[in-house]
Structures are given as C-alpha cells and as structure tokens.
Amino acid sequence: MCGIVGYVGPKSTVDVLLGGLKRLEYRGYDSAGVSVIDTEGKLATRKRAGKLAILVEDIDNQPLGEAHIGIGHTRWATHGAPTDGNAHPHLGGDSKKLSLIHNGIIENFAELKSELLEAGVSFASETDTEVAAHLIAREFDKTGDLIESFRKVVRRLHGAFTILVMHQDVPDLVLAARRNAPLVIGLGEGENFLGSDVAAFVEHTKRAIAVGQDEIVILRQNDVAIENFDGESVTRDEFLIDWDASAASKGGWSSFMAKEIADQPQSVGDTMMGRLSSDGTVHLEELAALTQKLPKLDRIIMVACGTAAYAAEVGKYAIESWARVPVSVELSHEFRYRDPILTSSTLVVAVSQSGETMDTLMATRYAKESGAMVLTICNTQGATLAREADAVLYTHAGPEVAVASTKAFTAQIVSMYLLALHLAKARNTRALSDLQEIGKELLKLPAQIAKVLEQGKSVAELAKSFKDAKTVLFLGRHVGFPIAMEGALKLKELAYIHSEGFAAGELKHGPIALIEKGQPVIVVVPSPNDPDSLNAKVISNIQEVKARGAEVIAIAEEGDLEAAKYSAQVFYVPKAHQMLLPVLSVVPLQIFALELSAAKGLDVDQPRNLAKSVTVE
C-alpha cells in the first residue's frame, strides 16, 4: 500500500514524480500528491483525493514551478478519510517550509499529538502522518540541523513507516527513514531516487540499493549516504534491476491483469530457467546455505496470506508426497499469536509476492528468534523478507501490477514444485529417475498454459452471462481444493460477488444446503488418469448439485467425458501430472473473474479497498 517517490537531479522533477507514481498505482491508493522546491527556492505542494489523473489534471491546469528536487506519494487511507486535506504530503511548522510523506502507521501518534496540541500546534488533517511533520519542523527550528532533527524524531516513532522529508531551507536534500516498510534507493548519473519499490524509478536507472531496517537515507544529487538511527554509517550492496519499465506497461492489453494472465507461460518458464535441466534434474543453488540441514528437517511450516496461502496449500501436497516431510500452512497474521512449537529442525517457508507483507515478515522474524530456519519465496529483488531469510527462492515472474495476483501465484506454485523436488533429492525419498520424470513434466507447463489461454474467448463469453449472479460456489478435491478457494477469492476481489471455495467432500456436510435452482457451481475436476484419482467422487458431487438445480461449470482434463456429461459447460486443460494440474486449472478461473468484473464495468486492476502489498498489520 502507498507509493513513494523521491528525486534529486537535473530532470523535470514534477515529471519524474508523476511518472513514478503512475508506475506505483498498482499498490492501491485513494489520493495523491507531490511537493517540490522550485528553482526560486520556494516549497510548492499539490495534492488531491481520488485517482492520480485528477492530480495530473490539476497540475496541468496550474503548473508547479520548474524544480530539481521533490517527493511524491499515493495514499491508501488508514487514519482519516481519503480527502484532499488528508492526502500527502503534509506540511510541518508554522512556516510550512517542511514537507513530509509517509507509508505505514505511527502507532504512538495519539500520544505525540497530545504533546503537540499542548504546545499550541494546529493540525490541518486527521492523519497520524502530520504529527511527524510538526515534530521534525519544531526540532529543526531549534537546531537548524535537518539531519539531526530527523534522526531524533524517527527514533521516537513506533510502528511501521517509511518517511521522506525535505525542507525549503535545505533545498538540496531529501531525507528518508525506514522501519518495517519498504524503501529502495535508485542510483543515477548526476541524479538519485527513492521509491517504495524499484518501479518508481526503473525508467531512469537499473542500479538500486535496498534500505535496511531502522536506517536513514541522506539523498543529494551527487551523493547518497546511509546510516542507522543512531547516526552510524551503514554500507549496503548495490543490485541491478532485471526488468525495464516496458515490462510494467500494458503493451496493448485492456488491463494489467489481462496482460499478466497472458504472461504466465513466460513467467512460469522464467521461474524454472537455470533451475531445471532438460533431463528433469533440479538445481537450486539458492538453497546452498541450507544444504546440510535439509536432510534433518522434521517439519515445514509455510506462512502466507491470501493468494500466497493458497499457493502454499498446493505446495504442501507436493512436498509431503515427494519429500515425505510433514507440512502445515499457517496464515501469517495468526501464526505467532498462538505460541507455535518451533525448533532448529523446523523450516519456515514465507511466501509473499512483494516480500514486504507485514504479517508474513513479523511471522518470519518470530520464527528466526525461535531458532527455526527461514526460506522466503518472493518475486521482488531486495525485498525485506528476502534479506532477512536464511535463503530466498525468487519467482522471476516480473513486475505484477494488477492488485489481484495471477502470474505471481502460478510462479509461486512452480517454485514450490522445484523446492519439493530439491527436498526429495536431498532426503533421498524418491528414486532420482522418478524425480526427473516429474521435472520433465514441469518443463511442459509453459506450452500447456499457452494452450489453456486459447480458450480465453469462450471463458469470457460465459463470464459475461453471470454478471448478475449474487453468489458463486467453487468445489475441488486434493490439489483442486486450494484452486477452488483461489477461484472464489478472485471473484470476491474483482467482481465483488459473494463466492466460496469448498472441499468437494464437505458438500454433504453442510454446503449442499446452499444449492438451489440456477446456482452457479464451478468444479475443479481431478484427472481421471491418475491411479489414485478422486475423479469419480467429484463427478458424483457434480451429479448431486445438478440434481438440485445447480448450473455446473467444470474445469477438467482433456478426454474427461464424464465431466462433460453432467456439466452445463466444460473448459478443458491439457493432460498433465496430477500434482501439476493446479497451474493449468487456475487459468480459466482467473479469466472468468477478470471478464465478469469487466462486464460489470469495474476497475479490474485496482479493486476497491484493496492494496497490492499490505505493509501494515
């Protein structure tokens, strides 16, 4: 949530800031604003509630002065409604010469605000953020040292925050501080950048530095310094961004989500590239630090939220089946509050697209403090989860801009397949030849996904016919069960339709009471070709709901004639290893949710009330 951009350099600052905020729209927001110090040395601020386009139009109609330093922000409301007054930046001090933007929550703001009110400070907003602006401005008025004033105040703040500050009286400097919220530096030639992620500045530079916990950035046009909250110098390694700005553009697609669904053959292939050889052998050099410990694992706990948790559920089946390690999947926000039992033989796998999900980050910190090993599966270079884990498995899905996850989800599942094969090899639980055969099946997935995508128009037509549906039910068994839950989640997120995913075996234990004439039921059908297949049992479930008037749509494997016999419509996926079917079965469900949302005239890429990365608890 919230997008942050900072810039010092020779380019038109307003253009740099607005361009960066545009590329950060995917994070979710309800207002936007910028501050610059113009070439005459005056601070100018403009901010508006609503979409970024409203702010852009405002500035077009009444331009800000030419400037070479500035900060910009897209806000997702926490304290205070999404209004012009509550939008960022916020100004501090009686002179209003200081401008501040903030991502996160200042948990002790009420106490600090009371202190300021007693001192006679007037507030212009309902936000927690404005407290920090006034505190820093007051300290600067006393000392005339912006860096020391900033350092002193951020040490007083509790909670999660990334804060950027600049002051009219120090017109060459942007300061930033990070605690439990993302911040990245972009290094240019004669210019430097700050962003909540690299999308903010990837158009201008591919050189970046990830800022660590409780660190301050001192940013000037030709110099960048990092120090901790106590003022001690810190050295951070630089990394190169491996995608360019064009990868985050729609490229002619109707929405970012449509593009990202179509990207999946590429993203799945990229996730396997260099890790899976043509003979099906897995090589995960990223896990070298855990090599000696993997054979001794006694359990794995996966922590994740939302879509990532459903990817973890699929991974659970594969790891237990192939590597014979007990696996549990925990919601990150519940995990550490139930006093879980962790040992040095426990591997905690944290799954997050952004690598900044606060609930998951706090869960992994708890795990490390308890002596467990931590592996992160994420999609973002330099993310906090990646830096704090013992090892990281990047998904290489490329930038995912739409709030509702698609290609990151399938890439996460494929990463878990690779992890399961790696564990099975390390633990010697399956014959190498068997593991290689599964690996060869994995290599077929990109072409198989492309084949599923060819049915997109048919799925779209069906989805449009359901735009007035009040509720949709999803059923699945085995690895199809988490896919049913993911399909339901996509419909909730995008079309605002009540939807639920159930294990098909639970049908007679309660959910069948929901079935009435015309009720849409989408069923993820297991392969009939697996010796241990649950296909016949799920076909029986289809017959049960059809007999009660349900309209059944099946996602089934090619050649499954029984599914066609009892369903109003079937979308087929290519024959594949039973464990790998989720990567194929979920694609029609993604398209279904996308097209139903579009048919209702909704914003597919930025669903209401949602943010791409949840960086507060």
Q: Note the pLDDT tens digit of each residue in 318-343.
A: 999 999 999 999 999 999 888 899 99
Which of the two residues, 354 and 89, has the higher pLDDT score?
Answer: 89
d(CA 485, CA 409): 13
pLDDT in the model for residue 453: 94
Mean of the per-residue pLDDT values for the chain? 92
Orientation of helix 581-599 relative to helix 445-453, angle to 10° = 30
Q: Which residue has the higher pLDDT, 220 or 610?
A: 220
**Max Cα separation, the chain?**
80
Query: Of the segments 75-89, 136-150, 258-272, 284-298, which one has the largest average pLDDT value?
Result: 136-150
Residue 449 lies in a domain: no
Place 362 in a pLDDT band, splitting at 50, 70 and 90: very high
Q: Which domain holds residue 291?
A: 250-443
Question: In this structure, is residue 615 part of a structural domain?
Answer: no
Mean pLDDT in residue range 305-330: 96
- Which of 191-200, 308-317, 456-465, 501-510 shows the highest mean pLDDT? 308-317
Record the tokens describing residue 14, joined without a space. 């307003």
Mean pLDDT of 371-385: 90
433 and 543 inside one domain: no
Same-domain check for residues 305 and 413: yes
DSSP 484: H
Segment 227-260, tens digit of pLDDT:
999 999 999 999 888 767 776 677 667 898 998 9
What letter represents residue 615's amino acid?
T
Provide the pLDDT for residue 615: 54
Q: What is the mean pLDDT of residues 31-44?
A: 96
The two three-digit tokens of residue 550, written as one number: 């349900």
CB 77 within 8 A of CB 30: yes
pLDDT over threshold 60, residue 617: no
The yes-or-no verdict on residue 567 having pLDDT over 60 is yes
The one catalytic residue in 2, 97, 378, 407 is 2
Q: What was the pLDDT predicted at 253? A: 79
* CA-CA-CA-CA dihedral for 139, 142, 148, 151, to nearest 10: -10
Question: Active-site residue 378, yes or no?
Answer: no
Residues 482 and 412 in one domain: no
Any domain includes 562:
yes
Which of 156, 180, 163, 176 shows the shortest CA–CA distance to 108?
Answer: 156
My answer on whether 269 and 348 are in the same domain is: yes
Strands 90-92 and 98-106: antiparallel
Domain boundary among 412, 443, 474: 443
The residue out of 247, 268, 297 marking a domain boundary is 247
Model confidence band, residue 155 (pLDDT cutoffs 50, 70, 90): very high
* 617 lies in some domain: no
2 noted as active-site residue = yes
Q: Are residues 88 and 180 in the same domain?
A: yes
Instruction: Check residues 251 and 129 and name the one with the higher pLDDT.
Output: 129
Burial of 240 by CB count in 10 Å (0-12 exposed, 13-18 middle, 19+ buried)?
exposed
Q: Is residue 613 part of a domain?
A: no
Write a three-state SS string for 222-233.
CEEEEEECCCCE
**What is the DSSP-derived secondary structure letter of residue 63?**
P
What gap in Å lies between CA 291 and CA 480, rounded to an integer?
Answer: 32
Domain with residue 568: its CATH number is: 3.40.50.10490
Which of 132-136, 210-214, 241-245, 482-486 has the least mean pLDDT? 241-245
Find tokens 């098909």 and name the residue: 504
* pLDDT, tens digit, 9 for 90 and up, residues 200-235: 999 999 999 999 889 999 999 999 999 999 999 999
Q: Give yes or no: residues 283 and 163 share one domain.
A: no
Total count of domains within the chain? 3
**Domain-located, residue 215:** yes
CATH number at residue 198: 3.60.20.10
How is residue 204 written in tokens?
A: 């201008």
How many CA within 13 A on the CB side of residue 560? Answer: 30
My answer on whether 414 and 439 are in the same domain is yes
| Residue 448 located in a structural domain | no
Q: What are the tokens at 190?
A: 């004669």
Q: Are residues 226 and 291 in the same domain?
A: no
The model's confidence at residue 118, banded by pLDDT at 50, 70 and 90, is: very high
pLDDT recorded at residue 614: 62
- Domain assignment of residue 499, yes or no: yes
Given a contact cutoff of 8 angstroms between Cβ atoms, the answer to whether 582 and 526 are in contact is: no
Across the range 510-533, mean pLDDT stands at 88
More confident residue, 514 or 418: 418
| Cα 19 to Cα 164: distance, rounded to the nearest angstrom | 18
Query: What count of Cα atoms within 13 Å lies in the side-chain half-sphere of residue 181?
Result: 27
Judgement on whether residues 32 and 158 belong to the same structural domain of the protein = yes
Please state, in angstroms and rounded to a whole number, the distance separating the CA atoms of residues 470 and 497. 6
Write down the pTM of the prediction.
Answer: 0.74
Q: Are residues 217 and 280 in the same domain?
A: no
Last residue of a domain, one of 219, 247, 275: 247
220 shares its domain with 264: no
Q: Is 29's pLDDT higher than 90?
A: no
pLDDT attached to residue 199: 86
Structure tokens at 318: 């594969």
Residue with tokens 């951009």: 5
Same domain, 284 and 396: yes
103, 108, 111, 112 alpha-carbon torsion, rounded to 10° = -40
